[in-house]
């Protein structure tokens, strides 16, 4: 990452969150710049995005923008001792994040911890009242849409925010079936066998291309850290995207990786 020396930095946030350790790195990088930082929450700053927002000397939100804070969340596998160790790690992560909120808001860490446990959603005005924001601007008529699969992960998401978050482009579209009269049935003309073979071959090639593209997109999120496993998954025609996810999770099993409810696997 390359930084431009400037007395002021402006950050616009519209995000449902991200990896906790990457978020901590962004927060620290902003705080260490020695610049005056202004953060604009354009639509939503949820989960780890809300921590990054706390790096702002001034946080500005429209009245209809939202911020959400909650407890760290993740996944792990193993025996009872492994799970207990993982729970301890999640507690440590929370203890690292609490000061970021407390320093910005002036609240105690106990007060912040209670808000995290309750998955607290706040409008711009509520963020101003609780110290998470410094200025509130008039409501924006239309805010940028977020493509995310995270809608189901948040238990208390306001409907106005849920409507902003749309499924990614590769998600199944909503059913828009229109009933029309059935056309007259006619016998199809026989198709030569060679055409069938060509169609099947084209379909198989298209499926393999989509499989490899999905696997490469999955591993791209980890910055080339698992290139050997990626190559193995791509080269194996029987390795589906789901199988690649499972192999990746197994590879990441030690040490466990903690997420802030945001690990897209």
Instruction: Give the pLDDT of residue 41.
Output: 96
Q: Peptide bond before 48: cis, by omega within 30 degrees of 0?
A: no
> What would the two tokens of residue 102 be?
């407390």
Specify the residue for token string 């059935």: 182
Residue 76 CB contacts under 8 Å (≥ 6 apart), including other chains: 82, 83, 86, 253, 256
Instruction: Give the pLDDT of residue 257.
Output: 43
Instruction: Give the pLDDT of residue 14.
Output: 93
> Using CA atoms, how far apart are residues 35 and 78, in angstroms rounded to an integer?
44
Instruction: Give the pLDDT of residue 198.
Output: 77
For residue 264, the 8-state DSSP code is: -
Instruction: Give the pLDDT of residue 218.
Output: 81
The half-sphere exposure of 92 on its side-chain side, counting CA atoms within 13 A, is: 9
Instruction: Give the pLDDT of residue 156.
Output: 60
Q: Exactly one of 47, 76, 123, 259 is catalytic; which is it?
A: 47
15 is catalytic: no
Is residue 124 within 8 Å of residue 158, measured between CB atoms? no
> What would the two tokens of residue 111 be?
């007060």
- Average pLDDT by stretches of 10, the chain with 265 residues: 69 90 91 93 94 97 95 78 86 93 96 94 96 93 51 56 53 44 55 65 84 84 80 86 82 52 34
Instruction: Give the pLDDT of residue 180.
Output: 44
Instruction: Give the pLDDT of residue 83.
Output: 84
Furthest-apart CA atoms within the chain: distance in Å: 77
CA angle 239/240/243 to nearest 5° reads 80
CA angle 227/28/18 to nearest 5° reads 50
Instruction: Give the pLDDT of residue 264.
Output: 30
Is residue 216 within 8 Å of residue 248, measured between CB atoms? no
Q: Exactly one of 11, 15, 50, 70 is catalytic; which is it?
A: 70
70 is catalytic: yes
Instruction: Give the pLDDT of residue 38.
Output: 97
Instruction: Give the pLDDT of residue 174.
Output: 44
């Amino acid at each position: 990452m390359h930084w431009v020396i400037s007395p002021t930095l402006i950050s616009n946030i519209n995000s449902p969150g991200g990896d906790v350790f990457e978020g901590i790195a962004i927060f620290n990088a902003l705080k260490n710049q020695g610049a005056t930082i202004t953060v604009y929450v354009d639509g939503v700053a949820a989960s780890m995005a809300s921590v990054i927002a706390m790096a702002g000397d001034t946080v500005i939100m429209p009245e209809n923008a939202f911020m959400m804070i909650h407890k760290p969340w993740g996944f792990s596998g193993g025996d009872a001792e492994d799970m207990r160790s993982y729970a301890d790690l999640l507690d440590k992560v929370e203890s690292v994040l609490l000061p970021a909120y407390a320093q910005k808001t002036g609240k105690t860490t106990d007060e912040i911890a209670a808000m995290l446990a309750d998955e607290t959603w706040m409008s711009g005005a509520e963020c101003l009242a609780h110290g998470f924001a410094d200025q509130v601007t008039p409501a924006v008529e239309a805010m940028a849409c977020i493509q995310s699969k995270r809608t189901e992960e948040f238990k208390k998401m306001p409907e106005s925010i849920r409507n902003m978050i749309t499924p990614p482009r590769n998600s199944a579209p909503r059913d828009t079936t229109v009933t029309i009269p059935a056309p007259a049935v006619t016998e199809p003309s026989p198709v030569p066998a060679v055409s069938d073979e060509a169609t099947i071959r084209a379909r198989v090639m298209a499926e393999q291309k989509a499989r490899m593209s999905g696997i490469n997109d999955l591993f791209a999120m980890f910055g080339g850290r698992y290139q050997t496993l990626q190559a193995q998954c791509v080269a194996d025609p029987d390795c589906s995207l789901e199988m690649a996810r499972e192999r990746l999770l197994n590879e990441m099993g030690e040490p466990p990786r903690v997420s802030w409810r945001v690990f897209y696997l």
